[in-house]
């Protein structure tokens, strides 16, 4: 008799627990080392917060500290993660070791843990042979558990044994040992990427948490250039007009505090302008329960919907922290689970229309190097009025001729009539970091900006191509291109940086294709090979970072495909070439690497003659 006949219409149960082979799938998750370590550290911090009262009780400490150590041994091919976070009780071992137990009921809304999968998924991502030893505070036993996936599959087992033994009631720790792991990396990579990412992700917990990485018994320190764990110095400066010239007397602290409800959920934090711009700075940090989800020096967050500008200087200057505690995150906690474009646009609207100054506009137009004498005098006068006034506290009369209601509209300058009209329409030529900006293109390269509209918005040239619609000219890259044979590379690059990516999209993709074709020929490409194949090989030599490789290959493939199609098809064309703007930012360090390697090769060849 079949099961269907036996049940005769009665309810019946089906085993929906995960099949053991799902663990093999977890090894192919899109983790990287830093995000996998972050999952394990999440558990340590949350365990410490949950058991802090018990730790205080047994140790008599009013403010106990959490310490997490990560010990990487290349000789043993082993990683050990250990904490003093209160340990795991025997009754909680099932929850801790099974995938996704009691989803939605185990963790409170303010917990760092979300889906009940983080520790298991990250451990199996490292290795299919790992173990846990733990002792819970106040319990006189320690527990040992070993997980060997191949043995479990071979024996068709779905459970594994937890072995108890004696321990002191004051002992509390958890130690995870990852054996024969498959995620090897150099000490340099840990210092340059992994440790900075971890320290920034958990920097809000640093008042009670220490996280240390040891590599073959040597304590590693993060590369300070890739690390920013405190709010940067905030710009204090008067408001400027469309030419970057001061047009008010009040000294403003360019920090805007935000606290509002978006689609029924609280959003709070701030957006600011850094006193000094920084390439690769975190941008807009998004946090959930004080843990950074997006926006680190390793993975910056520059949302177009908020910045509304492709000007690289704006991205270098805007820093913010937004707490989105009620917003859902993905199970790897690397992104929020919804499209945040609407939220960013709401913040941009508030910045543009609800205050007497526009913070994004200021960041876009400001230049502080090589100020004319008059500007220096105006700045000195403003600085006498310290302390600076926060944007939230600014009033219309303070601006001495500031905007009249309604407040600033999208896309306009800071005032309808500029109080300090400049004596020349030449744009200021240096940016916040002292780099030279590309010169303005000829008036013939219009983007449809009439002179009246340009006058109202304070644009220096009535027919200037907008900076956000051009490839950003890099003096550093141009310097290296000048070292190649001939001057074609420099001329073509200069032309690419002058034309509008919107108006001249067909020409720009053909030009970008020609640029890579010419560049690779100059640095040693065989004429029988395509530049895409040649660069693919060079990318593999350039970096081991999978993310960097993927970005570079995607950019090269995109230029190759679109450029070829545009050249050879009588119908196909790209409506816009705006993707080339970030593409050249991504390509720049790689191109410099190619030229340096080519120069080294040429020197060796000359020396051997």
Q: What is the pLDDT of residues 171-224, one digit of tens each?
A: 899 999 999 988 889 999 999 999 999 999 999 999 999 999 999 999 999 999
Q: What share of the chain is helix, strand, coil (3-state, %, to 5)?
A: 40, 15, 45
Give residues with Cβ within 8 angstroms of 393, minimum separation 6: none
Residues 196 and 253 in one domain: no
Identify the H or E element spanning 24: helix 22-26
The number of beta carbons lying within 10 Å of the beta carbon of residue 200 is 23
Same domain, 246 and 392: yes
Residue 411 lies in a domain: no
Q: Is the pLDDT of residue 368 over 70?
A: yes
Residue 81 dihedral angles phi and psi, to the nearest 5°:
-115, 125
What does each C-alpha distance from 18 to 313, 440, 521 come to in angstroms?
A: 49, 62, 54
Rounded CA-CA distance 127/150 in Å is 11
- 211 shares its domain with 76: yes
> In a 10 Å sphere around its CB, with 0-12 CB exposed, 13-18 middle and 19+ buried, how is residue 464 labelled?
buried
Tally the residues of the chain. 609
* DSSP per-residue string spanning 349-386: HHHHHSSSS-HHHHHHH---SS--HHHHHHHHHHHTTP
H or E element: which one contains 49?
A: helix 33-59
Evaluate whether 164 touches 142 at the Cβ level (below 8 Å). yes
Label residue 61 by pLDDT band (50, 70, 90): low
Residue at 264 is within a domain: yes
Q: What is the CATH number of the domain that holds 192?
A: 3.30.565.10
519 falls within a domain = yes
The tens digit of pLDDT for each residue in 388-429 reads: 999 999 887 787 544 333 344 444 444 333 333 333 223 333
Residue 209: what are its φ and ψ, rounded to 5°?
-125, 135
| Final residue in a domain of this structure, among 399, 417, 441 | 399
Comparing CA positions, the residue from 516, 518, 587, 522 lying closest to residue 554 is 587
According to DSSP, the residues that pair with 148 across neighbouring strands are 129
Looking at 404-504, list the stretches that DSSP marks H as alpha helix, in order from N- to C-terminal side: 451-457, 475-481, 488-496
8 Å CB contact between 340 and 372 = no
Q: Single out the residue of 146, 152, 122 nearest to residue 133, CA to CA.
A: 146
Residue 362 near residue 239 (C-beta atoms within 8 A): yes
Q: Is residue 81 part of a domain?
A: yes
Domain that holds residue 252: 236-399
Q: Categorize the per-residue pLDDT at 257 as very low, low, confident or very high, splitting at 50, 70 and 90.
A: very high
For residue 151, pLDDT over 90 is answered with no
For residue 293, what are the CA distances in angstroms to 111, 246, 289, 442, 492? 14, 37, 10, 44, 40
CB 252 within 8 A of CB 237: yes
Sign of torsion, CA 290 294 300 301? negative
* 452: in domain: no
Name the more confident of 499 and 308. Answer: 499
Query: In this structure, is residue 474 part of a structural domain?
Result: yes
CA 359, CA 237: separation in Å to the nearest integer?
11
The average confidence (pLDDT) of the chain is 81
360 and 476 housed in the same domain: no
Instruction: Output the domain CATH number for residue 348.
Output: 3.30.230
| One domain for residues 295 and 380 | yes
Do residue 188 and residue 274 come from a single domain?
A: no
Shared domain check, 245 and 211: no
527 and 563 part of one domain: yes
| pLDDT of 594 | 94
Weakest mean pLDDT among 450-454, 544-548, 554-558: 450-454
Sole residue written with tokens 């219009």:
446
Q: Could you tell me if 82 and 153 lie in one domain?
A: yes
State the pLDDT confidence band at 90, using cuts at 50, 70 and 90: confident
pLDDT class of 446 with cuts at 50, 70, 90: very low
Domain ends where: 226, 248, 265?
226
252 pLDDT higher than 50? yes
**Residue 418 within a domain:** no
pLDDT of residue 416: 31
**Range with the lowest mean pLDDT among 233-242, 455-464, 549-558, 590-599?**
455-464
For the stretch 451-505, pLDDT in tens is 333 333 333 333 457 788 899 999 999 999 999 988 889 999 999 999 988 888 8
Q: How far is CA 264 from each of CA 52, 111, 336, rounded to the nearest angstrom?
A: 32, 20, 16
Predicted local distance difference test score (pLDDT) of residue 313:
80
Task: Output the CA torsion 204→205→210→213 (10° steps).
Answer: -60
Does residue 254 share a domain with residue 215? Answer: no
Give the mean pLDDT of 539-568: 87
More confident residue, 437 or 384: 384
In angstroms, the Cα distances linking 70 to 205, 232, 319, 443 are 17, 29, 30, 59
pLDDT of 15:
43
Residue with tokens 């530049």: 531
**Residue 369, domain member (yes or no):** yes
Q: Are residues 203 and 303 in the same domain?
A: no
Q: Are residues 251 and 222 in the same domain?
A: no
Q: State the pLDDT at residue 117.
A: 62
Q: Which of 399, 428, 446 is the last residue of a domain?
A: 399
> What is the model's pLDDT at position 426?
31
Q: pLDDT at position 10, please?
A: 58
Whether the pLDDT of residue 536 is over 80: the answer is yes
Average pLDDT over residues 557-567: 82
Q: What is the pLDDT of residues 563-600, one digit of tens each?
A: 887 777 666 666 678 889 999 999 999 999 999 999 99
Pairing between β-strand 162-166 and β-strand 141-148 as defined by DSSP bridges: antiparallel
pTM: 0.63
- Number of domains observed in the structure of the chain: 3
pLDDT at 436 over 60: no
Is pLDDT at 102 greater than 60 in this prediction?
Answer: no
- pLDDT of 11 reads 60
pLDDT computed for residue 442 by the predictor: 35
Would you call 210 helix, strand, or coil by DSSP?
Answer: strand
């Amino acid at each position: 008799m079949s099961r269907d006949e036996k049940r005769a219409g009665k309810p019946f149960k089906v085993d929906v627990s995960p099949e053991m082979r799902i663990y093999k799938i977890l090894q192919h998750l899109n983790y990287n080392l830093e995000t996998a370590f972050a999952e394990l550290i999440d558990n340590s911090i949350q365990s410490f917060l949950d058991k802090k009262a018990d730790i205080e009780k047994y140790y008599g400490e009013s403010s106990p500290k959490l310490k997490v150590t990560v010990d990487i041994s290349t000789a043993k091919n082993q990683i050990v993660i250990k904490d003093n976070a209160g340990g795991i009780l025997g009754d909680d071992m099932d929850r801790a070791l099974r995938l996704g137990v009691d989803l939605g009921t185990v963790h409170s809304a303010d917990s760092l843990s979300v889906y009940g999968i983080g520790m298991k998924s990250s451990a199996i991502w490292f290795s299919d042979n790992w173990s846990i030893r733990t002792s819970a505070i106040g319990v006189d036993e320690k527990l040992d558990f070993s997980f060997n996936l191949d043995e479990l599959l071979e024996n068709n087992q779905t459970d594994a044994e937890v072995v108890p033994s004696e321990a002191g009631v004051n002992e509390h720790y958890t130690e995870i040992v990852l054996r024969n792991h498959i995620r090897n990396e150099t000490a340099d990579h840990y210092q340059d990427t992994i440790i900075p990412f971890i320290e920034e992700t958990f920097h809000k917990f640093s008042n009670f948490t220490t996280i240390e990485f040891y590599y073959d018994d040597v304590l590693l320190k993060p590369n300070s250039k890739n690390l920013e764990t405190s709010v940067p110095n905030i710009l204090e400066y008067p408001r400027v007009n469309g030419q970057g010239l001061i047009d008010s007397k009040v000294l403003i602290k360019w920090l805007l505090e935000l606290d509002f409800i978006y689609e029924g959920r609280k959003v709070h934090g701030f957006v600011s302008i850094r006193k000094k711009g920084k390439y690769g700075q975190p941008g807009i940090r998004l946090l959930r329960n004080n843990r950074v989800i997006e926006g680190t020096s390793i993975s910056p967050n520059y949302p177009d919907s908020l910045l509304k500008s492709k000007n690289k200087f704006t991205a270098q200057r805007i820093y913010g922290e937004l707490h989105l505690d009620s917003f859902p995150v993905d199970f790897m906690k690397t992104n929020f689970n919804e499209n945040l474009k609407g939220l960013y646009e709401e913040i941009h609207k508030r910045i543009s229309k609800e205050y007497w100054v526009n913070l994004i506009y200021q960041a876009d137009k400001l230049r502080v190097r090589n100020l004319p004498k008059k500007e220096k005098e105006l700045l000195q006068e403003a600085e006498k009025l310290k302390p600076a006034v926060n944007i939230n506290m600014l009033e219309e009369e303070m601006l001495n001729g500031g905007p009249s209601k309604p407040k600033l509209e999208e896309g306009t300058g800071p005032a309808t009539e500029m109080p300090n009209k400049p004596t020349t329409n030449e744009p200021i030529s240096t940016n916040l970091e002292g780099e030279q900006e590309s010169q303005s293109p000829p008036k013939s390269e219009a983007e449809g900006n009439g002179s009246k509209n340009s006058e109202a918005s304070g644009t220096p040239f009535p027919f200037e191509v907008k900076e956000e619609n051009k490839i950003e000219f890099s003096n550093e890259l141009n310097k290296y291109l000048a070292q190649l044979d001939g001057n074609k590379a420099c001329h073509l690059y200069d032309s690419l940086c002058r034309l509008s990516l919107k108006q001249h999209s067909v020409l720009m993709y053909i030009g970008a294709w020609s640029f890579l074709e010419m560049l690779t020929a100059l640095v040693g490409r065989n004429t029988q090979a395509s530049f895409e194949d040649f660069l693919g090989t060079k990318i593999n030599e350039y970096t081991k970072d999978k993310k960097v490789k993927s970005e570079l290959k995607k950019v090269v493939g995109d230029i190759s495909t679109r450029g070829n199609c545009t050249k050879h098809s009588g119908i196909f064309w790209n409506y816009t070439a705006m993707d080339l703007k970030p593409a050249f930012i991504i390509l720049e360090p790689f191109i410099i690497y190619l030229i340096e390697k080519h120069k080294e090769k040429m020197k060796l060849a000359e020396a051997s003659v």
